[in-house]
Structure 1
Amino acid sequence: MPIFLKRMKEYTYEKLKNNEPPKPSRITINWQTGIPWILSAILALFSGELDVFHSLHCLNYIRMYLDKDYYSAHLEHHDSFIRNSSHMPDNWGQVHLHHCLEQVVQAVICHADLSPVPMYGWKGVPVFLGVGQTHTCRRWESIREWMDARNEVRKPLEEE
């Protein structure tokens, strides 16, 4: 496995997500601010998850799609689910991949992190390497604890 993908897996998926993503649960959404084109209801019960977890899911799917040989068992399981569903198109893997790319692009643009990233180069090499800097982030543990606590009280969608 390429070192970048290995590090991404170790840090992002195992440590940040505690090896298990939270399950989407029913949440109350203010339709006036959440989805402004629906004006008939102010509050409604709606299935959903925090966008950060959706983005992490998509990043994980892109990672696995890039290294299909390594993640073939997971992708085969996913594809078999799709093959057994009459509601999913035959090219669902591609549809899902393009959706996930769009999701990650939207998250990056919407959050527009303005931390400066110095670029380093080497004499005679036309490539520059952007080395990550310290960022001011939200407290990930607090977000994760909140989501886990919700899932203890409310049944995840797949269990309803």
Structure 2
Amino acid sequence: MGPVKFNGAVMDNTSIFRADPSPEVDAAWDLLSAEGFEIITVSSDAISLSGHDPRLGVKAPASWFVPDSGRPRSVHHQSSTDENGAQYIAQIDVFHQIHCLDQLRRQINYDYYYGDKWGDNPPPQHMSHVKHCIHILLQNLMCHADVDIVPHNWVHYPDLHQKGRPYAEPLADFSIVKQCRDFEELLSWAKQNVVPDLAHK
């Protein structure tokens, strides 16, 4: 896809992903993190290319596949089976990352999501999950280490004066332009290739 200009405004809350908690906000996040955070199947070669050992992987059961085709019971599928006809359970990492970001969003709105359930004493597993998500997102940011520049622009305040002159200050302009992957296309692919209904059973 072509260049994309980010919305880096600090005070602009027009995006639903910046809105206060509500069922509508949860539904928007779920479209990105829950429905996409599901199981696909991949070949042993794909497992090896990811730096893992297929011998340790979980093989997808035969009941997941269309008889005599080797294809999962979904609309499309891209990966081939290995020499033994096996495929392996996997997920696409970006959906886990979005899930983790959503967990942090929920954590800063703790009372709304967890107050009635846990009060001021969330269980250790919950906090371990939150810390896991922070660490996962940090590692991904450091791994991809975005080196796009953030310019600084003069912002003028005609109603404010300093030493008799209109006040101005340099501020970072986070609305930068990036070359992005087509996330909507990836999300569509993931939904087409998911093992149907498995994640919500």
Q: TM-score, normalised by structure 1?
A: 0.65
Map of 2:132 onto structure 1: 99
Map of 2:38 onto structure 1: 24
Identity of aligned residues (%): 19
Q: Map residues 63-82 of structure 1 onto 2, 5 A cutoff.
A: 63-72=105-114, 76=117
Asked if the contact 1:5/1:63 (under 8 Å) is kept, the reply is no
Task: Report how far residue 110 of structure 1 moved.
Answer: 2.2
Map of 2:175 onto structure 1: 132
The CA distance in 2 between the partners of 1:31 and 1:25, in whole Å, is 14
Q: Map residues 138-157 of structure 1 onto 2, 5 A cutoff.
A: 138-151=181-194, 154-157=195-198
Relative distance call for 1:19 and 1:107 in structure 2 (3 A) is: closer
Q: TM-score, normalised by structure 2?
A: 0.54
Q: Which has the higher helix share?
A: 1
- Over residues 110-135 of structure 1, what are the superposed CA-to-partner deviations in whole Å (9 max), with x where a residue is unaligned? 22222211235778999954523011
Asked if the contact 1:120/1:131 (under 8 Å) is kept, the reply is no
Asked if the contact 2:32/2:98 (under 8 Å) is kept, the reply is no
RMSD value, Cα = 4.0
Task: Give, as a single letter, the amino acid of the residue that structure 1 aligns with 2:198.
Answer: L
Tell me, which stretches of 5 or more residues in structure 1 are unaligned? 80-89
1:70 is paired with a residue whose SS is helix
Instruction: Kindly name which structure, 1 or 2, has the bigger radius of gyration based on alpha carbons.
Output: 2
Asked if the contact 1:118/1:130 (under 8 Å) is kept, the reply is yes
Asked if the contact 1:55/1:104 (under 8 Å) is kept, the reply is yes
Tell me, which stretches of 5 or more residues in structure 2 are unaligned? 1-9, 20-24, 58-81, 156-161
How many corresponding residue pairs?
A: 144
